[in-house]
Structure 1
């Protein structure tokens, strides 16, 4: 007997599709796949556009990370999933130039190693980056500080082979830890202060570097960049952001920490938000929202998450929630949104626009920085 899918089920399916599509466009953004460019013992390199890395395909398949997607607990905010990796790749470009290095998904930290790192310290797991459970179930408990981590490898060609030249490891730190006092019980949230989060991240950094260097093929003198990410709270409409980085040039030594000036804000801004950050983008977004609302009156809402790096817009993700009744309405509205976005939304940074109903995503519009038009993917057909 067929079981009717609930409204919540449709929403979960829609979120899953969004994450898959986000990963798809992420891959398209980092490389234009033409797997016959360069062959080295079964390893192929993709072509890349200006400002993007060549990537690695092995035996006809994109080389993925065995440890991708592993987290200490369920992510509090689904917006962090895509932002964490795409922002890390942008940060990596300041350390490993796209014209000189080849990007490879992390191949040195396997799933068992990452699971051990993200677990709590115990007598049987000395590598755990999270503190021992002190048995408390109130604000005095030891929280889960380290939520997830992602490895990115940067390779150079040596004859017919690729060799590791450097690594960037993103470490997502919790600003809020969700936990239960008993199995299947209510969920509680423990806030982690900026001071405690920053101090704990610096404390565990040498231990993490030691584990990375112990992996076969990494070596003692490969430069390893650690980039620390502050995850968003559960109810935030914007993702988290990277806040600090340091480089280990050899052994377990960590160089001095440098602040990363990155911040995400929600558009339209609240009326009491008097900060200058995003003022121009806010004006443009409000004009965009008014324009598409006048074209199609069934819009329930439109919001955007805008990320700024060094006070300059680096990306924007827009969500338009509405209701359609026919494929022709979806077609007309998607095309109009693309035209309006070119007129009112920034052109200097990549923009993604998701058009959805309460239950499903119906269209995805994507434009890279300085592109002359949006790529429209309709998901209803």
Structure 2
């Protein structure tokens, strides 16, 4: 497992004639490998973005989330959302960001598995004991059983029994780790905080036989949080037993997934902070945020004015462009206040001039119809690609337009 001791030595010209001469050279000392020289960029995209150590170090559990979380939108939002909530604990002006380097692929898969019943454990343990004895290797039966019993999802007596599935859903889909590093007075940078996201299912999808039909079971938020609390306690205890993480502060958040076919992502519902050296969870802080689809019954019922605005916007476009096929809007709300509205406008274009004319018209509608207290993004698409974008940050007077060639 990697333990970072990073020494900032001075300035580095990353690529001759190309990189800024103010970038900081970084030496990462890894006990398992030779020293690696990297850089910390001197500039941030904005004050809300973390600087990231380069070359970029992928997560040690890279790719696991793609295999475990079914909805692509959940994958993106889980990662971005965890980083967003981490900013309240790890200030981007003081911390560097790095993907998780402690929970590796094997560890995460082991933790995402199911516990074993007593009979399942004995059967699996005996099989492993026989394998080791045949290979004339050392056998530690206690350690074998411990290694086989790492799953955090409930045990299921019979995987082919529907009632067993209903009584023992697989709640936990993924465990996401993010690392945050700071510069010390002695000119070194070390790991000073980690964030952990737990992806929990809102719908359990299962089969009782290979190739058979899928069954679906809704999981209430209360049931999910009860399970998430028990899982979080075990995750924190295991993290504290990892070398290098005994005294590192932990921000832990619970993400509630959407169902597999949902056109919008789920959201984080609770978070807590665990001080360095501590193993017990603090009280959960509720998170009131959600994504809402427009047009939709839920959008119309809960956010009628925004629903009508998106609908009116689509009607205005339809008056002048016969190839228009409708708009799809996605609103992101925090404490019931709209923070970002994303609208995708699919249309069939027959020339670049039509793209420019359509984008110009959409730009004017943005100025006339939409308030500027939230971020607004229009994505104008054809069947082949994104043709243009119109983006306006909250508080800005005019949007930024980009037409792709």
Any idea what SS the aligned residue of 1:62 has? Answer: coil
Which residue does 1:40 correspond to in 2? 26
Per-residue Cα deviation, 1:268-292 (whole angstroms, up to 9, x for no partner): 34399443xx344334323322232
Q: Show the 5 A alignment for 1:132-151.
A: 132-136=155-159, 137-141=161-165, 142-151=168-177
- RMSD, aligned CA: 2.7
CA separation of 1:272/1:79 partners in 2, compared to 1, >3 Å: closer, same or farther?
closer
Per-residue Cα deviation, 1:238-275 (whole angstroms, up to 9, x for no partner): 22111111122133211111111112222234399443
- Asked if 1:297 is matched to 2:322, the reply is yes
CA separation of 1:339/1:96 partners in 2, compared to 1, >3 Å: closer, same or farther?
farther
- Asked if 1:103 is matched to 2:103, the reply is no
* Residues 257 and 265 in structure 2, CA contact (< 8 A), matched pair in contact too: yes
Which residue does 2:229 correspond to in 1? 202
- Asked if 1:131 is matched to 2:127, the reply is no
Say which one has the larger Rg. Answer: 2
Any idea what SS the aligned residue of 2:98 has? Answer: strand
Q: Show the 5 A alignment for 1:188-267.
A: 188-218=215-245, 220-249=246-275, 250-267=277-294
TM-score by length of 1: 0.79
Any idea what SS the aligned residue of 1:40 has? Answer: strand
Distance 1:57 1:184 in 2: 45
Which residue does 2:115 correspond to in 1? 121
Distance 1:62 1:377 in 2: 30
Distance 2:105 2:401 in 1: 35
Paired positions, count: 341
Q: Show the 5 A alignment for 1:325-336.
A: 325-336=350-361
Distance 1:303 1:76 in 2: 21
- Which deviates more from structure 2 when the two are superposed, residues 248-257 or residues 45-54? 45-54
CA separation of 1:146/1:93 partners in 2, compared to 1, >3 Å: closer, same or farther?
same
**Structure 1: tracts of 5 or more residues without a match:** 1-32
**Structure 2: tracts of 5 or more residues without a match:** 1-18, 28-36, 122-146
- Which deviates more from structure 2 when the two are superposed, residues 40-49 or residues 144-153? 40-49
* Residues 347 and 381 in structure 2, CA contact (< 8 A), matched pair in contact too: yes
Which residue does 1:374 correspond to in 2? 400
Runs of 4+ in 1 over 6 A off after TM superposition: none
